[in-house]
Amino acid sequence: MLSTLNAMTRPKLAKLELRVLDALWQKGACSVREIQETFPRSGRRAYTTVQTTVYRLVRKKAVRCVKRISNANIFEAAISRSEAQRRLVDDLLELIPMEDLRGRLEEVQNEATGEQAKGSRLEPIGTAKRTQTGEQNEAKPWITRIARMGARG
């Protein structure tokens, strides 16, 4: 029930939607044309594709229209980068059965502990780490490890 409610209140974000949000996080409020121009020239999506994606994000309440100049709408991100990342992690966790997730996290923790013994900067789960400001944060090296694994392919 909770996951159904969660899925209804926080729709999934597609790859192109994340690219549009990334453009808005980097540039701030801008038009569809300005969003389109942030994409690399090779493989750049058509204006209408970007426009459709922006309006889908508006319906999902991830983007909002903040201003209208003549016929052009100006949009800004309505969710933060960390909220979008949380959505992605939640979506990933919904795909993995809990027993598989526990086993994989234990493997990653054991690997992180082994790497720490070899001089790695990763710390075991549950150890506290001080930031530059002196605040104490909970270390989550398994997130770093999973991110590295995902980057490899």
Last residue of a domain, one of 16, 43, 77: 77
Whether residues 58 and 100 share a domain: the answer is: no
Length of the chain, please? 153
Q: What is the CATH number of the domain that holds 41?
A: 1.10.10.10
Q: What pLDDT does 117 receive?
A: 54
Beta carbons of 33 and 39 less than 8 angstroms apart: no
- Asked if 46 and 113 sit in the same domain, the reply is no
Which residues constitute the domain of residue 71?
A: 2-77
Same domain, 71 and 22: yes
Domain count, the chain: 2
Beta strands of the chain (E only): which ranges?
63-69, 72-77, 128-130, 136-138
Cα–Cα distance, 45 to 25 (Å, whole number): 19
Residue 108 token pair: 């990653």
Examine residue 85 and state whether it is found in any structural domain, yes or no: no
Spell 38-51 as b/e; 16+ CB within 10 A means b: bbeeeeebeeeebb
Rounded-to-integer distance, Cα 75 and Cα 29, Å: 5
- pLDDT in the model for residue 33: 96
- Residue 9's contacts (CB-CB under 8 Å, 6 or more residues apart) are none
The structure tokens listed for 136 are 């104490």
19 plus 55 within the same structural domain: yes
**DSSP state letters, 126-142:** T-EEE-TTS-EEE--HH
pLDDT along the chain (153 residues), means of 10: 48 89 96 95 94 96 94 94 87 77 80 63 48 50 51 45
The pLDDT assigned to 119 comes to 53
Q: Which residues are registered as beta bridge partners of 76?
A: 64
User: Which pLDDT belongs to residue 55?
Assistant: 96
